[in-house]
Amino acid sequence: MDPKPVQAVPVDVSADQASEAVTPEVVTADPLQSVRAELAQLHARGTSGAGWFFWIAALSLINSIISLSGGDRHFVVGLGVTFVADIVARVVAEQNPELAATAKGIAFGFSVLVAGVLCLFGWLSRRPILPVFIIGMVLYLLDGLIYVRFEDWMSVGFHVFVLIGMWSGFQAYRQMLAMKATLQQQLAAGGTPGS
């Protein structure tokens, strides 16, 4: 059996290559991607600003523990109101040793209560409930005036620093909520974000 020679059949591949070369790659971008990124940044700034309430609560409790155990140092971010309560308790304890445990217990209980209220302000501010955030900032500002009375300028300076951080967080949350409201209106009207 004699095999017949196979003849090469010409194949035109130029048509396939041409169609691949002409077809551009289509990249579709999510129109909400930049909006989501901006909202995430604003949320992070807001969370950071509201986080100061938790720091103040923790450091105020530590200040109370240090003060009521006889220490003479304190964290400058702590509260003036708990600082005063601790001083009163120490004075009462020195003048009436039989009331020392009671006075210090009441002062520490007050510090725990105030720290709990601060944590509540922080938690609600992170929801974000802006009126609560602003009330907390005003109360912290008033607390800073206690340190003005004692001429503790380092604590006054840190109160100002913390208030600036809180204000930045408050502003970020305000912008975030305004953006979300605008987006909801645009989407309800059948529009696209940013139009």
Q: How deeply is 133 buried, as exposed, middle or buried, from its count of CB atoms within 10 A (0-12, 13-18, 19+)? A: buried
pLDDT the model gives residue 192: 61
Q: How confident is the model at residue 165 (pLDDT cuts 50, 70, 90)?
A: very high
Largest CA distance in the chain: 126
The reported pLDDT for the residue numbered 20 is 53
Q: What is the pLDDT of residue 71?
A: 85
In the prediction, which pLDDT does 117 show?
97
Q: What is the pLDDT of residues 50-94, one digit of tens each?
A: 999 999 999 999 999 999 998 888 788 889 999 999 999 999 999
Cut 0.85: pTM above it: no
Distance CA 35, CA 187 (A): 13
Q: Could you tell me the pLDDT band of residue 36, with boundaries at 50, 70 and 90?
A: confident
pLDDT of residue 132: 97
Q: What is the DSSP letter of 23?
A: S
How do the domains of the chain map onto residue ranges? 47-177
Q: Which two tokens stand for residue 4?
A: 């017949």
Mean pLDDT to the nearest integer, 189-194: 66
Cβ atoms 96, 140 nearer than 8 A? no
3 pLDDT band, cuts 50/70/90, is low
Question: 3-state class of 2 per DSSP?
Answer: coil
Separation in Å, CA 97 to CA 61, 66, 84, 89: 23, 19, 19, 11
Instruction: Encode pLDDT of 105-160 as tens digits.
Output: 999 999 999 999 999 999 999 999 999 999 999 999 999 999 999 999 999 999 99
Q: What pLDDT, on a 0 to 100 scale, did the predictor assign at position 31?
A: 65
CB-side neighbour CA atoms (13 Å) of 2: 2
Q: Which letter does DSSP use for residue 78 in this model?
A: S
